[in-house]
Amino acid sequence: MKHVTEYRDADLVHVVLDGIRQTVTKPWVLMEICGGQTHAIVRHGIDQLLPTEIELVHGPGCPVCVTPLELIDKSLAIASCTEVIFTSYGDMLRVPGSGSDLFSVRASGGDVRVVYSPLDAVKIAQQNPDREVVFFAIGFETTAPPNAMSVVQAQSLGLKNYSILVSHVRVPPAMHVILGSPHNRVQGFLAAGHVCAVMGYWEYPPIAEKYGVPIVVTGFEPLDIVQGILQATRQLEEGRCEAENAYPRVVTFEGNRPAQKLIERVFEPCDRKWRGIGTIPDSGWRLRQEFAEFDAELRFDVEAIQPDESPLCIAGQILQGLKKPHDCSAFGVKCTPENPLGATMVSSEGACAAYYRYGRHVAGQKQEE
Amino acid sequence: MGDARKKTIMQGLVCPRPLTHDEQVVLGHGSGGRMTQDLITHYFYPPFENPTLLRGDDAAVVTLPEQGRLALSTDSHIVSPLFFPGGDIGRLAVCGAVNDLAMVGARPLWLTAGFILEEGLSLQILERVVGSMKVATEEAGVIIVAGDTKVAEREKVDRLFVNTTGIGWVPEGREVGGANARPGDVVLLSGPIGDHGIAVLAARGELAFETTVESDLAPLNKLVEKMFEASQAIHVMRDPTRGGLATSLNEIACQSEVVIRLEETSIPVRPAVAAACEMLGFDPLYVANEGKLVAIVPAEEAEEVLEAMRSMSYGEEACRIGVVEESPPGRVLMRTAIGGTRVVDALSGEMLPRIC
């Protein structure tokens, strides 16, 4: 598989790992922002190959995990309406709300459909003019452009039966929260390559400078990840704190300008609640006033729901890099992918799910120590 | 013929002959009366013809080839679409039963077939499905000795469901079972994984890209016989269908209370399947197969069994993928391409495409 296999080459990975070993002289804590990176790290066993000085903690970049419980409960209420076809990325279907999930809503007769793109949801709306089609528009900067595009397309098609339930979040405000916390342990970031493909990394130099941390834009294959770690470690050892790009085959400094313009046209910044973390000012997007007719929250009068979060789940601390999945007493015992207590155990990008699926043996050993 | 018709018309008042329904299934086809009989004699007897079936009694009576043990397995088949590259529901129904029997070391002999048809189903579709079952039974060397047909009202079923039950005979000396893996054994795989799952997904039109992947759907009993010619000491066999290779190996690791250690680089995946999985966020280890088997054999017999597998068309690309060890029991671990180790878990729930 061209453009993938090269970046999984064991020999090249070990050359870079040697470079990290030669560079590192003291302990450093790095955070990979994106859940996709967390999974790649545990799936390929990269964490086991790093020198002990390098500790990786896992960031909040899992869109499913940070979607607030209230919004999931709202999605369940909307999806249960008989006139609604509720469309979503597949990942959201298993995420538990307060008492149910979208799978259960489907089993009880709700019309819940998995789509690969919001543009498919627009098509469903065109084909079903007598039904209300709602798309669950969650995600970071990566999914914002297609979600915005679906609204623009629905508008130009004159669709009156399409709306989106928005829960968009942005990476930079979360980095501010993590770095500004008195408990922060993170000394350097591996920035999420795909977010930067859309947004560029012009937002990062001020953060690197303000908090004195290196930020290295990093990809998702093993070679990309070890390269990101090498560059971050080099900066830390040399006392530098810059925004660097270790993923230049995909990311430019400016990013994808047309995509950014589309986001600006459809969405405006707003405060957002992050599941397990709390409200972060200016950390999300909502639909602009001129697109309000496509806002599912306004279209459906779903009553205020008092969400009920499991007291055992420590997902919030995991998402901020304060704890690791195997620090949780419920991990693998009361909380498993079949019976998740929190979203981090469900999503394909969730840190707990990654540890459970790929890294239980390591987690187990550490627990025994 | 022409004259006869004229005569009939001339006769004046006669009892109107009911319409013959030769284009689509109607509820009457499931009535158990003459229409059901017509359906059976026209659509099922000719392709499946054998003396036991044609006897037409309430149950088939068969004679065992020798004294010994019987293996029985039943499976219901629901697949959308009914036809996909590399196969269809008919071939699937036959191969499913045949392979389940072969995986316990049985020689499949007889099948039963139960059909649930949706009112309005085109009889042409039924004919195609039954025709493909005929081809598959001939290839596997089994006969269909009993059957049943029911018709359900429109939209109560999705066009056509097939249940097959297989009966096989287990020759003396074969002790195959999921609990028989022993530390020191070697894990063999008959070929590349994930073809069936990706082919069916593509045929559903659910992929935003086109692929030429064909299902690997095949009867594996002849491959298995060849393997037993090479060694009677095969400990475990399983066909990794839904849930994929990862789920099958996890079942075995739990049943046998052993750890199975895999080498990521030794597990074959076709480039087109790997690429499709990469785009969808699927792991080929969890994607369904319908013509592959995994076998666990003593190390000293592994090479001969592998050679036997490679001499058969459905095992040409057979290879070693791992070993069985003692501890930690119940786990499947994999050495990754870059030298790390990870758990390979069983599939949890439905496989879902990721967000980004």
CATH code of B266's domain? 3.90.650.10
- Enumerate the residues of chain A whose CB falls inside 8 A of the CB of residue B336: 43-45
Phi, psi dihedral angles at B77 (to 5 degrees): -120, 125
Domain ranges, residue B143: 27-55+68-170
Q: Does one domain contain both B226 and B93?
A: no
Q: Where are the domains of chain A?
A: 5-58+173-245, 65-170+255-299, 315-368
In Å, how far is B69's CA from the nearest CA of chain A? 38
Interface contact flag, A10 B333, Cβ < 8 Å: no
Are A170 and A139 contacting, i.e. CB atoms less than 8 angstroms apart? no
Answer yes or no: do B223 and B137 share one domain.
no
Asked whether the beta carbons of residue B354 and residue A361 sit closer than 8 angstroms, the reply is: no
Q: Which of B206, B341, B355 sits opposite A48 (nearest CB)?
A: B341
Whether the predicted pLDDT of B351 surpasses 80 = no
The pLDDT value recorded for residue B279 is 83
CA distance linking residue A287 with residue A285, whole number of Å: 7
Both tokens of residue A306?
Answer: 């008092």
* Any B CB within 8 A of A350 CB: no
Using CB atoms and an 8 Å cut-off, which of residues 156-195 of chain A contact chain B? 194
Which residues lie below 8 Å from residue A216, measured CB to CB, with a gap of 6+?
A188, A189, A190, A191, A228, A231, A232, A235, A243, A244, A245, A246
Are residues B166 and B190 both part of a single domain? no
Q: Six-digit token pair at B94?
A: 């036959």
Question: Chain A contacts of B347, Cβ < 8 Å?
Answer: none
Q: Is the pLDDT higher at A36 or at B8?
A: A36
Q: Count other C-beta atoms under 10 Å from residue B175's C-beta.
A: 12
Nearest to A26 by CA among A54, A50, A48, A49: A54
CATH number for the region A5-58+173-245 comes to 3.40.50.11750
Question: What DSSP string runs through B257-310?
Answer: T-EEEEEGGGS---HHHHHHHHHHT--GGGS--SS--EEEE-HHHHHHHHHHHH
Number of separate domains in chain B: 2
Write out the DSSP string of A133-177: EEEEEEESTTTHHHHHHHHHHHHHTT-SSEEEEEEEE-HHHHHHH
Residue whose entry in the numeric block shows the structure tokens 């002790």: B175
Cα–Cα distances in angstroms (integers) from residue B206 to residues B141, B215, B242, B269, in the given order: 35, 16, 18, 21
In this structure, the strands spanning A84-88 and A111-114 are: parallel
**Could you identify the residue written with the tokens 């064991």?**
A10
10 Å CB burial of residue A249 (0-12, 13-18, 19+) is: exposed
For the record, the structure tokens of A99 come out as 């008492």
Read off the pLDDT of each residue in B172-190 and give the average, rounded to a whole number: 96
Question: What pLDDT, on the 0 to 100 scale, is given for residue A221?
Answer: 95
Question: What is d(CA A26, CA A237) in angstroms, rounded to the nearest whole number?
Answer: 8
Q: What is the pLDDT of residue B4?
A: 43
Residue A104 sits at the chain B interface (C-beta within 8 Å): no
Q: What is the pLDDT of residues B302-350, one digit of tens each?
A: 999 999 999 999 999 999 999 999 989 999 999 999 999 999 988 876 6
Residues of A in contact with B341 (CB under 8 A): 45, 48, 361-362
Is B276 inside any structural domain? yes
Residue B61 inside a domain? The answer is: no
Q: Which domain-ending residue is among B138, B170, B202?
A: B170
> Alpha-carbon distance A253 to A245, whole Å?
8
Residue numbers in B near A43 (CB within 8 A): 336, 342
Q: Within a domain: residue B17?
A: no
Average pLDDT value for residue range B217-221:
97
A vs B: CB pairs below 8 A: 101
A142 in contact with chain B, both atoms CB, cutoff 8 A = yes
Question: Is A116 close to B208, i.e. CB distance below 8 A?
Answer: yes
pLDDT above 50 for B3: no
Do B156 and B218 belong together in one domain?
A: no
Taking a C-beta distance cutoff of 8 angstroms, is the pair B268, B193 a contact? Answer: yes
Q: Tell me the chain B residues in contact with residue A44 when contact means C-beta distances shorter than 8 Å.
A: 336-338, 340, 342
Q: Answer yes or no: do B87 and B126 share one domain.
A: yes
Could you tell me the two tokens for B108?
């499949």
Among the listed residues B62, B44, B42, B43, the one whose alpha carbon sits nearest the alpha carbon of residue B52? B62
Residue B20 lies in a domain: no
Q: How far is CA B182 from CA A238, B186, B215, B234, B248, in A?
A: 53, 9, 32, 11, 16
pLDDT for res A342 = 81
- Chain B residues within 8 angstroms (CB to CB) of chain A: 206, 208, 271, 274-275, 278, 281, 328, 331, 333, 336-343, 345, 348-350, 352-356
Q: What does the pLDDT read at residue B347?
A: 80
Nearest one of A169, A173, A193 to A263, comparing CA atoms: A169
Let me know if A317 is exposed, middle or buried by CB neighbors in 10 A (0-12, 13-18, 19+): middle
Residue A10 has its nearest CB partner, among B339, B341, B350, at B339
Residue B322 near residue A339 (C-beta atoms within 8 A): no
Residue B207 has pLDDT above 80, yes or no: no
At A275 the pLDDT is 83
Same domain, B111 and B214: no
Closest chain B residue by Cα to residue A35:
B356
pTM: 0.84
Residue of A nearest to B282 (CA): A348
User: How confident is the model at residue A368, as a pLDDT?
Assistant: 37
For residues B221 and B335, membership in a common domain is answered with yes
A46 touches chain B (CB under 8 A): yes
Query: Same domain, yes or no, for B193 and B322?
Result: yes
Establish if A107 touches chain B: CB-CB under 8 angstroms: no
Residue type, B265: T
Whether B75 is covered by a domain: the verdict is yes
What are the tokens at A3? 């453009």
pLDDT in the model for residue A27: 97
Nearest C-alpha neighbor of B77 from the set B49, B56, B98, B61: B98
Instruction: Tell me, yes or no, whether B95 and B154 share the same domain.
Output: yes
B278 and A4 in contact by Cβ < 8 A? yes
Q: Is residue B109 part of a domain?
A: yes
In this prediction the ipTM stands at 0.78
Please, are residues A212 and A240 in contact by the beta-carbon 8 Å criterion? no
Task: Check: CB of residue A284 under 8 Å from CB of residue A275.
Answer: no
A321, A346 Cβ separation under 8 angstroms: no
Cα distances (angstroms) measured from residue A112 to each of A148, B125, B348: 21, 30, 20
Q: How far apart are CA B26 and CA B21, in angstroms?
A: 7
Q: What is the pLDDT of residue B208?
A: 67
Out of A57-71, B146-160, B240-254, least confident range:
A57-71
Cα atoms in the Cβ-side hemisphere of radius 13 Å centred on B230? 21
Among B328, B338, B345, whose Cβ lies nearest the Cβ of A44?
Answer: B338
Question: Distance (Å, rounded) from C-alpha B16 to C-alpha B19?
Answer: 9
DSSP track, B310-355: HTSGGGTT-EEEEEEESSSTT-EEEE-TTS-EEE-PPP-SS-----
Q: Which of A45, A89, A93 sits opposite B342 (nearest CB)?
A: A45
Mean pLDDT of chain B: 90
CATH number of the structural domain spanning residue B150: 3.30.1330.10
In tens digits, chain A (369 residues) has pLDDT values of 777 888 999 999 999 999 999 999 999 999 999 999 998 999 999 999 999 999 999 988 888 888 888 888 999 999 999 999 999 988 888 788 887 889 899 999 999 999 988 999 999 999 999 999 999 999 999 999 999 999 999 999 999 999 999 999 999 999 999 999 888 999 999 999 999 999 999 999 999 999 999 999 999 999 999 999 999 999 999 999 999 999 999 999 999 999 999 999 999 999 998 887 888 999 999 999 999 999 999 999 876 666 667 788 888 888 888 888 988 988 988 888 878 888 788 777 788 888 888 876 554 444 333
Nearest-CA distance from A360 to chain B in Å? Answer: 6
Smallest Cβ–Cβ distance between B338 and the set A49, A349, A364 belongs to: A49
Q: Are B293 and B249 in contact (CB under 8 A)?
A: no
Which of B68, B148, B74 lies closest to B110, judged by CA?
Answer: B74
Q: Does A322 reach chain B within 8 Å, measured CB to CB?
A: no
Are B134 and B193 within one domain?
Answer: no
Look at the block and give the residue holding tokens 């840190």. A351
CATH architecture designation of domain A65-170+255-299: 3-Layer(aba) Sandwich (3.40)
Beta-carbon contacts of B226 under 8 Å, excluding residues fewer than 6 positions away, are B308, B309, B311, B312, B315
Q: Is residue B178 in some structural domain?
A: no
Domains A5-58+173-245 and A65-170+255-299 share a fold: yes
B37-82 pLDDT tens trace: 888 998 999 999 999 999 988 899 999 888 889 999 999 999 989 9
Of B352, B325, B208, which Cα lies nearest the Cα of B257? Answer: B325
Angle between helices A35-44 and A222-238 (to 10 degrees): 100
Q: What is the pLDDT of residues A230-272, one digit of tens each?
A: 999 999 999 999 999 999 999 999 999 999 999 999 999 999 9
